[in-house]
Amino acid sequence: MQDEKSNVSKVKQTVRESKKKKPKDVCFVIMPFGGWGDDYYESIYRPAIESAGLEIHRADDLFRPSTIVNDIWTYTKRARLLLADLSGKNPNVFYELGLAHALAKPAILVAESMEEIPFDLRALRVITYDKHDPEWGRLLRDKVKTSIKEVLKSPLEAVLPAFLEAKGSPAKLQVTSHEKELIEIKQELDLLKREIRSSDRPYERSIDPRDVRSEIYYYIRHGTPPEVILDKYSQRGIPRSWIIKEINQIRHKRVKGKAL
């Protein structure tokens, strides 16, 4: 009888604890799908976001038959903050970022160069990375984690002031006119600092996976050793796993084509 009471007590305690546990805040990642973007998502963004204590989601997590825009809107509304990879200036990414701005959601922008960030958005928190640095992946991961923690402490600074509302208005991030003015001044100063720092940096155009795939095919067709191809593109920041997969697929197709 005593054991039964003890078990019931444990069950009640477990139920109470489960009710106390709040679901994790969500970081919604906006970025292109496919190519080596998926490698970046799994090897850089996921560990950085999860180590910052957030739950990570991306639009391709959604497999419901409903309209994808509705699902993106739902995820964006739920998110505590967003991480937008603007590398390559993908139009879908900018569209989804616009939805986030409409909701006054804090956003962290990521790009290979400030040249890929529209000037009007450069006042937000921007992370750039240099693929010529052999440790660029680890450095980007650390920057993302640090930026998330800073944004969680001061979310208003990661929102464009135009989307902030005066206190007393409905459900957006709300500030006084004085607070809004201070945020604008700080963002303008941050923008000025970034422009000065980036003015002397060389800019390299973003690499399109389709272009690289065509180049790999060309090299294989002309007998270039796979290790040479691997070294060439891994030095440009392309994940080695993606390069090896493409080399193997192209070689397999060529062998199969000859057999036919």
Under 8 Å CB-to-CB from 79, ≥6 apart: which residues? 25, 26, 27, 28, 57, 100, 105
The one-letter amino acid code at 61 reads D
Mean pLDDT calculated for residue range 18-35:
79
pLDDT mean across residues, the chain: 80
Task: Say what percent of the chain tops pLDDT 90.
Answer: 35
Q: Which of 119-133, 151-165, 197-211, 223-237 has the lowest mean pLDDT?
A: 197-211
> Quick one: pLDDT at residue 15?
46
* Cα atoms in the 13 Å half-sphere on the side-chain side of 47: 12
C-alpha torsion angle, residues 224, 230, 231, 235 (rounded to 10):
130
C-alpha torsion angle, residues 216, 221, 223, 225 (rounded to 10):
20
pLDDT at 5 over 60: no
Residue 220 main-chain phi, psi, to 5 deg = -65, -40
Mean pLDDT calculated for residue range 196-209:
59
The one-letter amino acid code at 94 reads F
> Quick one: pLDDT at residue 186?
74
Mean pLDDT calculated for residue range 251-256:
76
- Cα dihedral across residues 258, 222, 233, 214: positive or negative: negative
Q: Which of 26-40, 70-84, 128-142, 243-257 has the lowest mean pLDDT?
A: 243-257
Mean pLDDT calculated for residue range 79-98:
93
Residue 108 main-chain phi, psi, to 5 deg = -110, 125
Q: What is the CA angle 88-90-95, rounded to 5?
A: 145
